[in-house]
Amino acid sequence: MRMYDLIEKKKRGFALSSEELRFFVDGFTRGEIPDYQASALCMAICFNGMTPEECADLTEAMTDSGSRVDLSSLPHTADKHSTGGVGDLTSLITAPLAASLGLSVAKMSGRGLGHTGGTVDKLESIPGFRTALAKEEFLDQVRRIGVAVVGQTANLAPADKKLYAIRDVTATVDSIPLIASSIMSKKLAAGAESIVLDVKYGSGAFMKTADDARELARTMTAIGAAHGRHMAAFVTSMEFPLAPQIGNTLEVEEAVRILRGEKPRGWGIRTVAVRLAAEMLALSTGIASDDALRQAEESLASGRAYAKFLEWIAAQGGDISYIEEDRFERAPCSREVRLTRDGYFTAADTERIGLASCLCGAGRMKKEDQPDLTAGLVMQIAPSERVRAGQTAAVLYAASEEKLDAAEEMLRSSLVITDEPKETPPLIADVVR
C-alpha cells in the first residue's frame, strides 16, 4: 500500500477503506508518512468529504493511535463536550450536577486557546486544585464521589494532535469530517458509555451557522453510535456569550452562583448546563428526557449539586474555604466601559468579546502563553436589554492600564446597540439524537 495511491483515490472522490485509513493514521503517527503527503490527503478530504463509514473508520484509527481509558468498572459513565465559545463554563456546573444524579463523570478536559476558554485553566484558578491525577487515583475518585476532571494525557489519541498541527497550517481545519474525527477520537478514547455534545454556532463559535453546526452534530453522533456509544448533541447559539463573566476565576465564581441557586438574567449558561446534565442522565439510564430534566432541576434547587461540587473540588486538593467564603481574586486594575448611546443590546461580535478578555490577560493566543487567571471582564448588560447612554456595559479586569486600553477598544467594537429591539436567535436551535 502506498500513500500516493490513497491521495489519488480521495482526490478523485472515492471512499477510502478501513485498512487504507488505518495505514495512513498509523504511518503518519510513527513518522513514516511525511507531512506533505498528510497535508495533501487532508486537502483532498476538504474538497471531497468522507462517507459516514470513512468518518467512523478514521476516528477508530485515531483513537487506537494511543491509550484508551477503561471505565468498565464504573456504573453509568457519561461525558460531555463543547466545541468551545465565550463564557462557556458548562462543565463546572454539568459535571457535579450529573454526578449528583448518580452518574460517573470521568472527564478529561483541555486548556483554552484564542478567544475560547478551557476548563483546566478555570479549575486551576482554585487554590490547590490538581488537574493531574494518576490513573488509579482518577478512577478511585470517580468511584467514590462520582466525578473527576483532569487534563488530557499526551497519549490520548496522539494521531489527532499531530494531524491537527498539519491542518492548522494548511487551511484544512474547517473540514467537518476532520473536525468530527478529531473530537470523537478523544471522546472515544476517554471511555464513557454516554456522550452529550454541545455544538456551538454563531459569531463566537467555530461553526458560524446553525446548519453547519447541525451537520457537525449529526456527523459526530453517527460516529459515536457506530462505536456503540449512546449519543446526543445540542446545537446551541454563541451569538452572545453564554455567561456574563468571562475569564478563569470569574467563570468559577459564576458557576458557584448558579450551583447555589442564582439565575443569571438574560444569559443562557444555566439553561444549557442543566439540559446537558439531564441528557447525560437520560442517555445513561433510559429515562425520558422530561423526567431527567425534572431530576436535574430538583438536584440544583435542593443544593445537592452544589454539595457535590464542593466534594469534587476538595477531593482534587482545592481549597473549598476559598469558594465558601467568596474569596475570588480579580486583577488589580479595573475599568468600567460605558455606553455612548441609548437603544437595545441586540447583537454582539462574541469572538471579539472573547478576544477583549484575552487582551485583559485571561487567555492565551499561543499555546506557550500563561494566562492571568484573575483577569477578564464582566458584562453588565444582557442580550435584548434596553440600555441608556452612560450605562456601564462591562467592567474589565487586568494587570495594567495598557491592557485595559486594548481590551476596551476591542470590547467597544463588539457591541451592537440598535434603535429598535430585535428577536434574538433561539438558545438551543436543535437536539440531535
Which residue, among 245, 179, 188, has the nearest Cα to 217 in the 3D structure? 179
Report the largest interatomic distance among the alpha carbons of the chain, rounded to a whole angstrom: 68
Strand partners, 344: 386, 418
Question: Could you give the CA distance from residue 310 to residue 256 in angstroms, rounded to a whole number?
Answer: 10
Q: Cell 477520537 appears where? A: 185
Which residue, among 265, 267, 263, 262, has the nearest Cα to 240 in the 3D structure? 267
Question: Could you give the CA distance from residue 36 to residue 42 in angstroms, rounded to a whole number?
Answer: 10
Q: Is 205:235 a contact under the CB 8 Å cutoff?
A: no
Question: Could you give the CA distance from residue 212 to residue 174 in angstroms, rounded to a whole number?
Answer: 10
CB atoms within 10 A of CB 5: 10
* β-bridge pairing 376-379 and 392-398: antiparallel
Catalytic residue list:
81, 160, 167, 182, 186
Which residue, among 296, 334, 254, 295, has the nearest Cα to 92 in the 3D structure? 254
Q: Cell 446545537 appears where? A: 235
- 3-class state of residue 307 by DSSP: helix
Q: How far is CA 134 from the centre of its chain?
A: 24
Q: How far is CA 339 from the centre of its chain?
A: 31
Question: Could you give the CA distance from residue 119 to residue 149 in angstroms, rounded to a whole number?
Answer: 9
Question: Could you give the CA distance from residue 194 to residue 230 in angstroms, rounded to a whole number?
Answer: 5
- 3-class state of residue 270 by DSSP: helix
The DSSP secondary-structure symbol of 154 reads T
Angle between helices 18-29 and 3-11 (to 10 degrees): 130
CA distances from 232 to 212, 280, 303 (A): 17, 9, 27
Q: Is the dihedral of CA 265, 268, 274, 275 positive or negative?
A: positive
